[in-house]
């Protein structure tokens, strides 16, 4: 965390503590988000502006999120599922149909991206796009030879250079792992045909010789400290680390990759919907969205905020890749029952 962020946070905590000593218990908003996916100063600002308390928890996969929100002991108001999981939550009847009149800043969103979001939420009724991004490979330049990276290919995961070194990880995410092998072999990442999955399996069996763990969180520290040398990773998470460490690198494989849009939703079971709507509208506000995009290093679907970003960010092809590259990527779609085939293959690879 930067020094200015720490100072701002301390000041806001001080104001919040002063206000909280004035009596009355405050309303509480329970938020459940991916880790490293919001500027923490914004959380404090919202608490101060709305005289409320935010109980903030994080997860590192859509699957863990679903398991938690389905367990009776946990109750959350606002959650951040990826597109395919918006469909899954919607079909399970867990999402609030959003009242747009309460979202005065909704108009800031990019209408082209809202249309794209209709593949998982057909009338943009249950979800508000939050950030979009891509998955690629993070590496530590101190250990990974430049000539291996120069190929910019998924094949680096199975390169003999890493054999017996225990230095390669992939995400703990069935869709991402199987998806990488599918795209590498020229298939659509949503293809669950026998031929596609048999080919993906062959590739993954070969890569697996190098893979030490499937993990979606610790790579952010382990690539910088050399525990891991190469990791399948989410672009913004890596860019946050790269800003502080020149030895880190990241590339989007030339064969293409996964493309996802994460979204904000209110759970139907939310006990504090008014406050939840306020929080969604706060995230959509142009300056909030701009600052959040700068902090997280992910691509914003907020058109008004995007216009305010520096050219450095707008022209960063690791955040906003060319149309040519995006054409080689696949949005992770909900697959209904067919997802079981992907899960089974993933479990089999993990057991190896
Ligand atoms: C944030 C990771 C979000 C990307 N740390 C996964 N969709």
- For the cut 70, the answer to whether the pLDDT of residue 16 exceeds it is no
Ligand 1 mean position, distance from CA 327 (Å): 21
Distance 19 CA to ligand 1 centre (A): 33
CA atoms within 13 A on the CB side of 30: 12
- Write out the two tokens for 140: 């530590």
State if residue 84 touches ligand 1 by the CB under 6 angstroms criterion: no
> What's the mean per-residue pLDDT of the chain?
94
**Any idea which of 2-16, 100-114, 131-145, 211-225 has the lowest mean pLDDT?**
2-16
Residue 70, pLDDT score: 87
Does 34 sit in the ligand 1 pocket, CB within 6 Å?
Answer: yes
Write out the two tokens for 311: 């050219």
Residue 108 corresponds to which tokens in the numbers above? 């800031």
Structure tokens at 69: 């929100």
340 by Cβ neighbours in 10 Å (0-12 / 13-18 / 19+) ranks as exposed
Tokens at 342, concatenated: 């992907």
Residue 80 in contact with ligand 1 by CB distance below 6 A: no
Please state the rounded mean pLDDT for residues 127-138.
98
Inform me whether the pLDDT recorded for 167 exceeds 90.
yes
Q: What is the 3-state secondary structure (H, E, C) of 175-243?
A: HHHHHHHHHHCCCCCCCCCHHHHHHHHHHHHHHHCCEEEECCCCHHHHCCCCCCCEEEEEHHHHHHHHC
Task: Look at strands 258-266 and 128-140 and give their pairing.
Answer: antiparallel
Question: Is the model's pLDDT at 8 over the cut of 80?
Answer: no
- Round to whole Å and give the CA distance between 270 and 289: 24
Which tokens belong to 201?
């399996």
Nearest Cα residue to 301 out of 311, 312, 290, 287: 290
Torsion of CA 148, 152, 158, 162, to 10 degrees: 30
Predicted confidence band of residue 3 (pLDDT cuts 50, 70, 90): low
In this structure, which residue's CA is closest to atom 4 in ligand 1?
234
For residue 128, list its beta bridge partners: 264
Q: In angstroms, what is the span from residue 269 Cα to ligand 1's centroid?
A: 24
Residue 11: what pLDDT? 61
Q: Domains for the chain: give ranges and CATH numbers.
A: 25-132+260-320 (3.40.190.10), 133-259+326-351 (3.40.190.10)
Q: Give the model's confidence band at 103: pLDDT under 50 very low, under 70 low, under 90 confident, else very high.
A: very high
Predicted pLDDT of residue 4? 61
296 close to 277: Cβ distance less than 8 angstroms: no
Maximum Cα interatomic distance, the chain, rounded to a whole number of Å: 66
List, for residues 194-203, the tens digit of each pLDDT value.
Answer: 999 999 999 9
User: How far, in Å, is the centroid of ligand 1 from the Cα of 27?
Assistant: 28
pTM tops 0.95: no
Residue 75 pLDDT grade (very low, low, confident, very high; cuts 50, 70, 90): confident
Testing ligand 1's pocket by substitution, the residue of 32, 33, 34, 330 carrying the most ligand atoms inside 8 A of its CB is 34
Mean pLDDT (whole number) for 280-304: 98
Sign of the dihedral through C-alpha 288, 290, 296, 299: positive
The answer to whether the beta carbons of residues 37 and 217 sit under 8 Å apart is no
């Amino acid at each position: 965390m930067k020094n200015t962020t720490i100072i701002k946070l301390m000041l806001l905590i001080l104001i919040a503590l002063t206000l909280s000593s004035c009596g009355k218990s405050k309303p509480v908003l329970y938020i459940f988000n991916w880790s490293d996916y919001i500027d923490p100063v914004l959380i404090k600002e919202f608490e101060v502006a709305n005289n409320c308390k935010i109980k903030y928890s994080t997860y590192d996969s859509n699957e863990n999120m679903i398991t938690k929100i389905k367990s009776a002991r946990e109750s959350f108001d606002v959650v951040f599922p990826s597109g395919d999981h918006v469909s899954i939550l919607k079909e399970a009847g867990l999402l609030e149909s959003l009242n747009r009149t309460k979202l005065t800043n909704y108009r800031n969103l990019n209408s082209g991206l809202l249309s794209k979001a209709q593949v998982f939420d057909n009338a943009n009724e249950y979800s508000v796009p939050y950030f979009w991004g891509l998955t690629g490979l993070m590496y530590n330049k101190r250990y990974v030879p430049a000539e291996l990276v120069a190929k910019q290919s998924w094949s680096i995961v199975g390169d003999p250079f890493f054999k017996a070194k225990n230095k390669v990880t992939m995400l703990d995410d069935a869709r991402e792992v199987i998806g990488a092998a599918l795209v590498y072999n020229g298939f659509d990442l949503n293809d669950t045909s026998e031929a596609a999955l048999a080919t993906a399996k062959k590739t993954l069996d070969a890569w697996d010789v190098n893979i030490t763990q499937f993990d979606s969180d610790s790579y952010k520290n382990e690539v910088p400290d050399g525990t891991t040398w190469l990791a399948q990773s989410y672009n913004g998470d890596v860019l946050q680390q790269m800003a502080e460490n020149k030895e880190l690198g990241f590339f989007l494989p030339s064969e293409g990759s996964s493309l996802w849009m994460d979204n904000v939703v209110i759970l139907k079971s939310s006990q504090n919907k008014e406050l939840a709507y306020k929080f969604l509208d706060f995230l959509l506000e142009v300056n909030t969205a701009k600052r959040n995009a700068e902090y997280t290093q992910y691509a914003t679907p907020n058109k008004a905020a995007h216009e305010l970003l520096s050219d450095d960010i707008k022209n960063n092809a690791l955040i906003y890749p060319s149309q040519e590259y995006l054409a080689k990527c696949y949005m992770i779609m909900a697959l209904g029952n067919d997802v079981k085939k992907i899960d089974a293959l993933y479990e089999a690879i993990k057991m190896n």
